[in-house]
Structure 1
Amino acid sequence: MAALSSRVNAVARHPLDQLSPDEVRRAVDACKCYASTHGVGALRFNTVMLREPAKKALLAFERGCGPRPERIAEVVAIVPSASTAVEALVRLQEDTPPTAAAAAPPSSPEGLAAQIESWKILDGVQPLTSPDDNTLAEVVVKSDLRVAQLLAERYGITDVANQLICDTWACHNAPEHLNHRRLMQGFLYLKLDGKYDNEYAHPIDMVPIVDLNLGKVVHIDMYDKPSTVNRQSVNYHPSLVDVAARPWRDDVRPLHVVQPQGPSFSLYGNELSWQRWRMRIGFNGREGLVLHGVSYKDGGRVRPVLHRASLVEMAVPYGDPNTPYIRKCAFDVGDYGFGLCANSLELGCDCLGHIQYLDAVVNNAKGEAVVIRKAVCIHEEDAGIMWKHWDCRTNHAEVRRSRRLVVSMVSTFMNYEYALYWYFYQDGSIHFELKLTGILSTSVAPAGESDPPFGVRVAPGVNATVHQHFFCMRLDLAVDDTEGGRDLVVSEVESVPLPPGGPANPHCNGFLMEETELLSTTAAQRNHNFNTARFWSIKNPFSINPISKRPVSYRLLPAASPALMAHPASLVARRAVFARRQLWVTPHSESQRYPAGEHVVQSNHCLGLAEWTKKDQSLRGADPVIWYSFGVTHAPRVEDFPVMPVEVCGFSLKPDGFFTSNPAVDLPPCRDPASKEEGVPQNQNQIQLITTGGTAVGGAAGSACCLPASKL
């Protein structure tokens, strides 16, 4: 199977493998040819990515009872001359060598390398803004004469080319007279201390809005009176950190991750295996990392857990209701593309240990393939104790350490980094974690303001505004669904106290777990409730646990997540309906991919979940899809500047009656020979567990708990 890393031009052998650079080229050539022959005009490409096969067709192919699905490219492009956009589906033949593909131009009627299957004009919506759109918008702002004039008049800045920085965002809450145009807004900063200066320490108040199709600034928001620019250096780059005032720490000693025999995982093309886990790694420009066909091998049986899982939307509303920051809100997945903004990761920095990377293939505005090297990191790591028990009667302890497989990526959206981690554990559990870091998006304090009412002062005259981050996952579970397409049931489980007194609860201590099946799309719109230990169970009624006699299931365990602070009448609440609830469940539909809608830039209402759930649909026999939302409220701290320590949020999927006992009880006893007790000679460290026998050195639990039975 075709590996993404170092073989991105190889034949894509599995229907879920991302497009190769050659497939991107052929799809783009076909679109250019169609546009030319139909008088459409020049195209500016947003996304060129795989249109995944329909679920039923894919499952039939993987079970060996259906044909190989066709390779289809989904192309979204802008037609700047017509101020419109198009979506094309392009049928691709199997990858051919570049020389052969070049010999058969896409316009040739015989043996087309790529063929237009559909061509749709996108009326009334704006596709995502690509990295090239962001670059274009910044160039337009820095070239605008009015912007240059205001910089000189208000701040005395004349070196626009070297000192002005423009963070370009999709335009939330566009001015009424402009909302039909393709817009980007720019939050402006200054570099005052050279190339690596932290511009977020020097914000200014002007927010220009650019018409991308016209290539010009069409509106500028600003304070009535100019505010004072902070001139103080607040930096994190090594070349600008004042090490005389704050020297580098000298008490940090090396900590190495060493695996003398190599890692326990293997990668064949995009198919990843680690101990009992199997999955396929996918990637596209919008969602970034996608997991397909996640399964767990249990006693010789391969048992499905997840059909597909990915991060499908985000909303980041800011709390300042004043001009010019009323437009400050980002839908990062739909506005910019989590995959398009992926980082190239670095060995020994972003990831530690024995690493395997996967490259990603995306595209630029010209339609050329762009390879993001090392976009996905795969490694394993220690995860503390998996289980332990010390038998006080025999003075014997058994303990097993846990390790986990980590599949991760990092994306940067101007100031913010979002680090995405999937963790797979040896007991069948899955944890998803998002780490938020980067730099706060700052603003200049209005003239005369002594203390910011909507945030905190992080540098002289520099405000950091309170804001929220909401993430939405699309989880298509396949709990023990070995047949493919069986209909699962989602239920809510919570602890309920029994009525006090009476024969059922005479001592008033009784409580039980109560389960309620969520059988319609309205009933399945739920929030967490930590007072009742609420979680959600995804059950397979066609597979019964032989011990509990209940359907096998996986629990969706929520973590702390805030309520959306914006009023339901606000624009962000109307667009980000997914953020109003933690749980949504809908019947599976190939067309329902993104909870805020297919194209969310400058939308004025939700084009996804709100539309799909207008009618209360039954979830009985509906192959349910879970949309799980979670996030954080970020009340900035001074300690978050000039660069922010991570904020963490996420959720867990945990087997519940999926196995017949603890699936990690078969982990072999082991002891790390590299571990040592400080102050004890190395030769004594090596024999300590054998010789102490639970006496003073090892304590009661110091018996040979980690040694094979032959050593006891």
Structure 2
Amino acid sequence: MEPAVWNNKDASSSKTLVDARDHPLDQLTPAEISRASAAVRRHAAAAGVTGALRFNTIMLQEPPKAELLAYQQRRGPRPERRALVWVLNPPCGDFYEAVVALPEGVAAAAAAADVVRTWTKVEGVQPTTTPDDCSLAEHIIMADPRIRQLLAERYGITDPDLVVFDPWSLHGTPEQYKGRRLMQGYLYVRTCKEDNEYAHPLDLCPLVDLNLGKVIHVDMYDAPAVMPPTLVNYHRDLAKATTGQEWRADMRPINITQPQGPSFNIEGNLITWQKWHIRVGFNAREGLVLHQVGWQDGGRLRPVLHRASLSEMTVPYGDPNYPYIRKCAMDCGDYGMGLTANSLALGCDCLGHIKYFDGVVSNAQGEALVIPKAVCVHEEDAGMLWKHTDTRLGHVEVRRNRRLVLSQVSTFANYEYGMFWYFYLDGTIQLEMKLTGILSTSVSDLTAKDLPFGITVAPGVVASNHQHLFCVRIDPAVDDADGGKGLVVAEVNAEPLPFGPDNPHGNAFRVTETPLLSVHSAMRMAKPEAGRAWKIKNPAVINPITGQPVSFKLIPQTNCPMLMQPDSLVGKRAFFAQKHLFVTPHVDGQLYAAGEHVVQSEDCLGLKQWTKEDKPLLGADPVLWYSFGVTHLPRLEDFPVMPVESVGFMMKPYGFFTWNPTLDVPPERNEASREELTPAARSGAAGMRARL
């Protein structure tokens, strides 16, 4: 298969991408996952590793950026196909990382063709707590005789099937248990199978050693708390009992139809829509990944992004009481956005004419698991694109906007996180994170009302204050097909001018632009009052109208900083949330803001390490790490299920085009739209038709 060229200098090339099928960035297939685990088993046996292996994660190891670009530009061979494998040896508590070469073509049918390139025993860290780990922890805890005895003694619960265990990775490992692979759990109880367990929290918090397979500690109140009795449900079979109301009868269907089919085209994992080209990736850690995003401009494909993904997130809780000081999730690294991805449902999660991509992950036995419909692709109306009424001519020009949506939803015990990447007709890119699900609750006195660190959402049920802080890694390629080494990141601020000779009426303000030339100078905070944004510029490509480098602008939206102290455990682990922006030189393998392995970590093993040295950014292929989030002060209306709250950012072209790129969007009138008349108007219209 001969690669095509991604090259903004070659306007004559009609083929602008590597062939869409069997691309080096495609996720591993089920067969490749099986081959990788088999190769690791053979190698482990040859290396003298005894005892059972527990596979943690098997996913594509993406080719080095330089190799990928060389292949795409016909300057180098096709990169070797490789799998990254994390595997545990529970009897010994050892953790190994392997890289397995998976030759493509006919030779791959022979098992011996798969070669373990590297085999490393990794010390002092723990890999992701997978869904299999969570199930194992629940089994261990619910089978523990002491747990059953405590449930019976403290609450009179004798049916363990009604008890629900929420698995959490451990934030702040007690000194005596350090070095062990642990999980903690919060216990709840249901009154029936469909009951909302979060309305009935218990005061037991066990710790389990996954390698030993046993409960090693249980935290509890000195005196048993009274189990909250109130039923507060969202399940369709129980919600009416909670609200005391029937279903609303006045909601009529809204149907999204596309009689001529969608405007997008998909070949392999390559999406083309309007002038956008987007390659879809998926892995266990990040879930949905965007690769090689570009804009077709005449005869050339202009690169915009080399890669973009949700790199990490943290959800720290603000309750300083024990054991809730241990309550903090680093969801991407702790559990994996891809491992926890939902199978999306047609007509509910996504509306319209849908294309789905499956996700492929692995289980503890090293077998492939296919998540059907893990990623949804559709287009939707996005309101008005632009409009002007020429009052002198009595002429109106208006265009409707639309956007392409790539989405994924992941469930982490109580919470759902929806990741929605939007691509617009005018070249805008937007990420919107949608937060929903159920508040994580704890038990309190039934009469408690005024709580300093949370809110009572039902008698005896507390929802604590917390934050949801995200970090997106953006590897830009703004009109640069050669890896981004020529790109410059600059900060843009609007500032008022004082009264003076140049501003006698006090109405002037100007825009300042400051290049961020080193890693330390690029550690920045958002500043809404200054309209602060960050430009990604390509000085090698000058806009003929402005005379300035073409650029894209990263525009912060609703945002908040981390409220925990920088030297707290959360502050150290989630170093990425201490600033809104970091910029680092590109280094292959530096993908995760808090480090590759964050489970039970005590410091940041990612950005904090990579920013210790004040490295120069000019000519360094800059990578942006943008952090954003919400401070969630729970409200009663968030219970028993939370309406969506959204947060995100935009990237807009800034001098990237020579004029509004949507001037070629055709004028059209939606014939399916209709005016809903009042009864009097309908009667008048009918009379008029009768007279005619």
Q: TM-score, normalised by structure 1?
A: 0.91
Distance in 1 (CA, whole Å) between partners of 2:170 and 2:446 is: 26
- Paired AA for residue 182 in structure 1: R
1:579 is paired with a residue whose SS is helix
Corresponding residue number in structure 1 for 2:434: 435
Corresponding residue number in structure 2 for 1:134: 134
1:81 is paired with a residue whose SS is coil
Give the C-alpha shift of residue 412 in structure 1: 0.3
Gaps of 5+ in 1: 2-10, 107-111, 688-712
Give the C-alpha shift of residue 241 in structure 1: 2.1
2:215 is paired with a residue whose SS is strand
1:632 counterpart (630, 633, 651) = 630
Closer, same or farther: CA 95–313 of 1 in aligned 2, 3 Å? farther
Distance in 2 (CA, whole Å) between partners of 1:187 and 1:643 is: 18
* Per-residue deviation, residues 641-669 of structure 1 (Å, max 9, x unmatched): 11110010000000000000000111101
Q: Which moved more, 1:30-39 or 1:211-220?
A: 30-39
1:584 is paired with a residue whose SS is strand
Distance in 2 (CA, whole Å) between partners of 1:80 and 1:59 is: 40
Corresponding residue number in structure 2 for 1:116: 116
Q: Which moved more, 1:491-500 or 1:67-76?
A: 491-500
Q: In the TM superposition, what are the counterparts of 1:384-423 in structure 2 within 5 Å? A: 384-423=383-422
Corresponding residue number in structure 2 for 1:706: none
1:27 counterpart (31, 36, 40) = 36
Corresponding residue number in structure 2 for 1:362: 361
Distance in 1 (CA, whole Å) between partners of 2:430 and 2:267 is: 24
Give the C-alpha shift of residue 450 in structure 1: 4.0
Q: Which moved more, 1:20-29 or 1:484-493?
A: 484-493
Q: In the TM superposition, what are the counterparts of 1:452-471 in structure 2 within 5 Å? A: 452-471=451-470
Q: In the TM superposition, what are the counterparts of 1:234-273 in structure 2 within 5 Å? A: 234-242=232-240, 245-273=244-272
Corresponding residue number in structure 2 for 1:197: 195
1:653 is paired with a residue whose SS is strand
Does residue 93 of the first structure (1) align with residue 92 of the second (2)? Answer: no
Give the C-alpha shift of residue 421 in structure 1: 0.3
- Paired AA for residue 25 in structure 2: L
1:61 is paired with a residue whose SS is helix
1:40 is paired with a residue whose SS is coil
Distance in 2 (CA, whole Å) between partners of 1:260 and 1:569 is: 58
Give the C-alpha shift of residue 45 in structure 1: 0.8
Distance in 1 (CA, whole Å) between partners of 2:217 and 2:540 is: 60
1:242 is paired with a residue whose SS is helix
- Paired AA for residue 165 in structure 1: V
* Per-residue deviation, residues 412-449 of structure 1 (Å, max 9, x unmatched): 00000000000000000001000000011011015774
Give the C-alpha shift of residue 299 in structure 1: 2.4
Corresponding residue number in structure 1 for 2:8: none
* Per-residue deviation, residues 231-264 of structure 1 (Å, max 9, x unmatched): 2211111112226821000010010001010000
Corresponding residue number in structure 2 for 1:109: none
Does residue 474 of the first structure (1) align with residue 473 of the second (2)? Answer: yes
- Paired AA for residue 427 in structure 1: D
* Per-residue deviation, residues 312-336 of structure 1 (Å, max 9, x unmatched): 1011000101012111000000001
Would you say the 8 A contact 2:411–2:417 is kept in 1? Answer: yes
Question: What is the RMSD computed on CA atoms of the aligned residues?
Answer: 1.7
Corresponding residue number in structure 2 for 1:70: 80
Corresponding residue number in structure 1 for 2:15: none
Would you say the 8 A contact 1:52–1:72 is kept in 2? Answer: yes
Give the C-alpha shift of residue 96 in structure 1: 5.6
* Per-residue deviation, residues 672-712 of structure 1 (Å, max 9, x unmatched): 0011111289xx9xx9xxxxxxxxxxxxxxxxxxxxxxxxx
Would you say the 8 A contact 1:226–1:447 is kept in 2? Answer: no
Corresponding residue number in structure 2 for 1:702: none
- Paired AA for residue 216 in structure 2: V
1:82 is paired with a residue whose SS is coil
Does residue 321 of the first structure (1) align with residue 320 of the second (2)? Answer: yes
Does residue 515 of the first structure (1) align with residue 524 of the second (2)? Answer: no
Corresponding residue number in structure 2 for 1:56: 66
Distance in 2 (CA, whole Å) between partners of 1:680 and 1:64 is: 65
Closer, same or farther: CA 471–678 of 1 in aligned 2, 3 Å? same
Corresponding residue number in structure 2 for 1:151: 151
Would you say the 8 A contact 1:24–1:368 is kept in 2? Answer: yes
Q: How many residues align?
A: 662
2:676 counterpart (664, 674, 678) = 678
Distance in 1 (CA, whole Å) between partners of 2:240 and 2:119 is: 57
Distance in 2 (CA, whole Å) between partners of 1:87 and 1:264 is: 43
Would you say the 8 A contact 1:60–1:66 is kept in 2? Answer: yes
* Per-residue deviation, residues 119-176 of structure 1 (Å, max 9, x unmatched): 000100000111000000011110111111111111111111x111100010001111
Closer, same or farther: CA 540–420 of 1 in aligned 2, 3 Å? same
Would you say the 8 A contact 1:56–1:485 is kept in 2? Answer: no
Would you say the 8 A contact 1:286–1:333 is kept in 2? Answer: yes
Corresponding residue number in structure 2 for 1:704: none
Distance in 2 (CA, whole Å) between partners of 1:559 and 1:225 is: 46
Does residue 43 of the first structure (1) align with residue 43 of the second (2)? Answer: no
- Paired AA for residue 203 in structure 1: P
* Per-residue deviation, residues 288-312 of structure 1 (Å, max 9, x unmatched): 0000000011123211000000001
Q: In the TM superposition, what are the counterparts of 1:578-593 in structure 2 within 5 Å? A: 578-593=576-591
Corresponding residue number in structure 2 for 1:542: 540
Distance in 2 (CA, whole Å) between partners of 1:335 and 1:259 is: 40
Closer, same or farther: CA 680–458 of 1 in aligned 2, 3 Å? closer
Distance in 2 (CA, whole Å) between partners of 1:484 and 1:519 is: 18
- Paired AA for residue 79 in structure 1: N
- Paired AA for residue 37 in structure 2: V
1:220 is paired with a residue whose SS is strand
Would you say the 8 A contact 1:222–1:323 is kept in 2? Answer: no
Corresponding residue number in structure 2 for 1:602: 600
Give the C-alpha shift of residue 508 in structure 1: 1.5
- Paired AA for residue 50 in structure 1: L
2:661 counterpart (641, 656, 663) = 663
Distance in 2 (CA, whole Å) between partners of 1:581 and 1:135 is: 36
- Paired AA for residue 643 in structure 1: V
- Paired AA for residue 454 in structure 1: F
1:651 counterpart (649, 659, 677) = 649
- Paired AA for residue 133 in structure 1: D
Q: TM-score, normalised by structure 2?
A: 0.94
* Per-residue deviation, residues 384-439 of structure 1 (Å, max 9, x unmatched): 00000011111111100000000000000000000000000000000100000001
Give the C-alpha shift of residue 452 in structure 1: 2.3
Corresponding residue number in structure 2 for 1:207: 205
Would you say the 8 A contact 1:496–1:514 is kept in 2? Answer: yes
Would you say the 8 A contact 1:223–1:324 is kept in 2? Answer: no
Give the C-alpha shift of residue 78 in structure 1: 0.9
Would you say the 8 A contact 2:21–2:268 is kept in 1? Answer: no
Would you say the 8 A contact 2:21–2:267 is kept in 1? Answer: no
Give the C-alpha shift of residue 12 in structure 1: 6.8
Would you say the 8 A contact 2:416–2:436 is kept in 1? Answer: yes
Would you say the 8 A contact 1:26–1:113 is kept in 2? Answer: no
Would you say the 8 A contact 1:526–1:584 is kept in 2? Answer: yes
- Paired AA for residue 608 in structure 1: G
* Per-residue deviation, residues 13-57 of structure 1 (Å, max 9, x unmatched): 210011000000000000011112222132111110000000111
Distance in 1 (CA, whole Å) between partners of 2:451 and 2:157 is: 26
1:15 counterpart (9, 20, 24) = 24
Distance in 2 (CA, whole Å) between partners of 1:356 and 1:568 is: 43
Corresponding residue number in structure 1 for 2:688: none
Closer, same or farther: CA 485–497 of 1 in aligned 2, 3 Å? closer
- Paired AA for residue 34 in structure 1: H
Distance in 2 (CA, whole Å) between partners of 1:583 and 1:641 is: 33
Give the C-alpha shift of residue 375 in structure 1: 0.2
Distance in 2 (CA, whole Å) between partners of 1:344 and 1:620 is: 43
Gaps of 5+ in 2: 2-19, 686-692
Would you say the 8 A contact 2:85–2:99 is kept in 1? Answer: yes
Q: Which runs of 4+ in 1 moved over 6 A?
A: none
Percent of residue pairs identical: 59
